A and B are shown apart, each in its own frame.
Chain A
Amino acid sequence: MKYFGLIWRNVWRKKIRTSLTILSVLVAFLLFALLNALGQAMSGGGAMTGAVRLVVIDKVSLINFLPLSHKNKIAQIPGVAVVSQQSWFGGFYQDPKNQFPQFPVVPDEYFALYPEFVMPEEQMEAWKNNRTGAVIGRDLAELYGLKVGDRIPIQSTIFTRKEGGRTWEFDIEGIFDTTDPKGGTALLLFRHDYFAEANTFGDGFVGWYTLRLAEGADPVEVANAIDLQFANSPNETETSTEAAFAASFAKQFGNIALIVTMILGAVFFTLLLVAGNTMSQSVRERIAELAVLKTLGFKDGTVLGIVLTESVLIMAMGGLLGVALGWLAGLAIGSAMAMFVPGGIVVSTEIVLLAVALMIGAGVLAGIFPALKAMRLSIVDALARG
């Protein structure tokens, strides 16, 4: 560290060149942070915390309904603590662009399944006393400026009401928050009993079941027991953990990871070239100086270290600024797209650590050849050339 002053002076010897290099490194790491955070948000990675939950869907396809009669049979399987049903309502608010999940649920069971959702007790009571009541998440309330007592019309693209029309009106009885910092709450919940009674398809079917495991139960064993229970029935099931379910759903979008990797590969290759070029230029210009250093008794290793540190320093300055900007941009974009990425676009600690590792790696890689060149300088030749 005693040479830091020297290194720092060398870094800023050509101010324009160093600034431009730092700026291009900044852009590269900004993209790196943002794309990785987006990739994580899309694959639902990291969003599943708390108790292990299992999801039971129809074996043939997620879109097929399951009979309500499965519920009791699942509840009796050892290891199942709570089981409840949900269905995809496929509705929108005012304009088809305003889509967010709405689920018909059983209030008590739903909140027992998702203990991370918290709502005042009196709002829960009010909801249980109003068949056409609904509760919404804080994110949704903020998105559309909704409050308790509002009446919200939701137009379903799937379910028609027996009374005619596909516009369902709900009284907002409560607003819930989440204790999971990574979880979003842009959703609306309404009562399954009202849904079953009022839709034209009738009662007796659900979209899927979600269940919470009892303390110490093995998720794989429970999942197998459920699927075995319904094997060879007209409605075979497929049970997986919530995380696996989310991941397999994300995979359906295709190889987003591959595309992101490809872009980042191109970005980093370019970055390395730019930084490597800057480093070799600056070493070339300083050959005489480096020879003087060696004449003064600087060891080969020290010269190598000085040049390498310079390169890593340039990478780190650009990289850290880039990651910081990426974090800010992620916050901004995430809140603008709260409906699509419920957990927000978060530059996680892993991404930051990976970025730091890359900065060091890229710095060393870009600096190593010029540094070796500097180390191997023959003093006499170098002084003669200068």
Chain B
Amino acid sequence: MEEQVIDIAVIGGGPAGLAAAIAAAEAGVKRIIIFDRQTELGGILNQCIHNGFGLRYFKEELTGPEYAARFIAQLAEYPQIEVKLETMVVELTSDRQIITTSRRDGWKIYQANAVILAMGCRERPRGAINIPGTRPAGVYTAGTMQRLMNIEGFRPGNRAVILGSGDIGLIMARRLTLEGIEVAAVLELLPYSCGLNRNVVQCLEDFNIPLYLSHTVVEVCGEGRVTGVKAAPVGPDRCPIMERSFMIDCDTLVLSVGLIPENELSREAGVQMESSTGGPRIDSGCRTSVPGIFACGNVAHVHDLVDDVSEESRIAGKAAAAYVLGAQQGSEPNRVKVEPGRNIRSVTPQEIVAGEPTVLYIRAAFPERDVIVAAGRHRSKHRIVTPGETVRIMLHPEDVDFSAGVLPVAIEGGVESNA
């Protein structure tokens, strides 16, 4: 089969892919294609019809579709960006050959000089957390529920229990309530919410939705459709205390139990993965371990805010443009590897290249109050850190000692907290 040569292939037309493609076009790349599976650009933003997007990036509060529309409108200025919708990338090799399929073009092969991975993430399903019980209709992940309601316009339930207090779970608690679908309870395995604090307040507390911390679902009940779930508190070992289990009647169980970067293609291409994020290992230019393949947005690590995704993806777009246009410096620049220390679950990027302005996204392993976040020579005080909210640190050149080879990152001196 014939193959078509292009400069940059952007896989995914959500916030990451859009920002990366635009940044690459600004830098002078001639032939860019964005591939996306959906009928419209914008990715998951299209079903996020609530507001709260863009406060940092645009300094105003937008809904998901509005946020996406800002970027989509910019595409008009860049004829060098082609968009292929309803097109799925089914294969990616380490030498950047891509196979796509679409109703219009059938199966096609492209050879890209650079590839930007921007596939986003997906939700963990019921099986991944192994909830015992029957297998009735009415068990949905929060994102599927959101799609069924906000895109398809369906009413997927009448009375729901939400397991997991991640951001999508919290947002959906409010969304269900506003549509007259009763939310009987939100259950959270951990002693603290995994979502942003503002979402706990605005989505649960403002609507008097009960949040049961240190609780989980131990059984799904019902034969045809869900008729209820059995819930139980968990001990400090996170094992359910069955003697204290209780039934909650509901016809719907909504799961918001974590997001997983969607890296099937990255693995196929032989990109080295980082177990702490579930995404490819990337450096401060969003470069993966495979030359010419870049990764940004939720495919690299799950972000709290789309604003951060846009910012990071612009870096990926610029770095991919530099790679394609051959604008590399003569000698290899200095690099340091990030070395996670105390109370660190993950740090992205995992490597820092001298001369590249760097934002570090640091996720704590456990909640703590009154801490100091240390990264190289950088020190900052934080009133609170939790695994549900990343700490964003702007690193300055003087913060990094490139001769040291590593950049130690740690959260120090705190008081353990339950909030």
A binds B: no
